[in-house]
Structure 1
Amino acid sequence: MEYQIKFLFADASTIEKTFNSNISVAEAKTQLIEAWPAEKDKISSINDLKMIYNGKLLENAKTFEELKVPMNQQVIMHLQPKPPVAKLQQPVVTPTKPIEQTRFVI
């Protein structure tokens, strides 16, 4: 018996993968990262990947069995990779020009 999972990305692209019956979410994420599509931004760790099933974020320590994922039928799960961290931009420094003060004498 095995799990047949179709993973859906936010851009509607998919990955299909089959897993053994006793697999944990962390192990499934590891296998997904190893077979990651070349056209997607690379994921460096399982903590950078969110797996969602039935509207719930799956915990890495849980098994698919504990989460009551059906076996021997295709199940759809959503994958949400963490976006790459944007590099901090250097603040734009505007050269300051001394303000000339004008005095009016009456």
Structure 2
Amino acid sequence: MSVVQDQLEIRFRLPNGSDIGPKKYTEATTVSTLKESILAEWPKELESGPKTINDLKLINAGKILENNKTLAECRSPICDLSGITTMHVVVKPPSLERGTEKDAAKNSKGNRCRCTIL
């Protein structure tokens, strides 16, 4: 009976509103393991998908979950209200190189129209 209580049923809500899961995980499962599972099951038809687990953020009950934490450590009282817990998945956009990011910001400021219409 304790084996059933130690398992959580989790569904992952993707940015486009579709879901992965639900699947059952033990409370000892780490957040990084969840992210690896999401990467493996990521729909191929979605553009701009994550490349690594570092491109993903998992949000549960308004908190961003840390990779090294287990589900037991991240669990909130909200999880106990229903049978399936929904975690939201956020994909980090591809980042620009540091130098180019500053150059792009500088150029965008320089290209503004400074006309005044009277």
Counterpart residue type for residue 83 of structure 2: Q
Aligned length: 92
**Which structure 2 residue ranges, 5 or more long, are not aligned?**
108-118
1:4 corresponding residue in structure 2:
9
| TM-score for both structures, normalised by structure 2 | 0.64
Higher RCO structure (Cα 8 Å, ≥6 apart): 1
SS state of the match for residue 27, structure 1?
helix
- State the match for 1:24 in structure 2: 30
How large is the Cα RMSD of the aligned pairs? 2.7
Does residue 84 of the first structure (1) align with residue 94 of the second (2)?
Answer: yes
From 28, 41, 51, the equivalent of 1:35 is 41
| 2:11–2:84 CA contact under 8 A, matched in 1 | yes
Query: Structure 1, unaligned stretches of length 5 or more?
Result: 93-106
Matches of 1:58 and 1:9, distance apart in 2 = 16
Q: Deviations over 1:45-95 (max 9, x none)?
A: 11100000000000000001111254792001100011233696xx89xxx
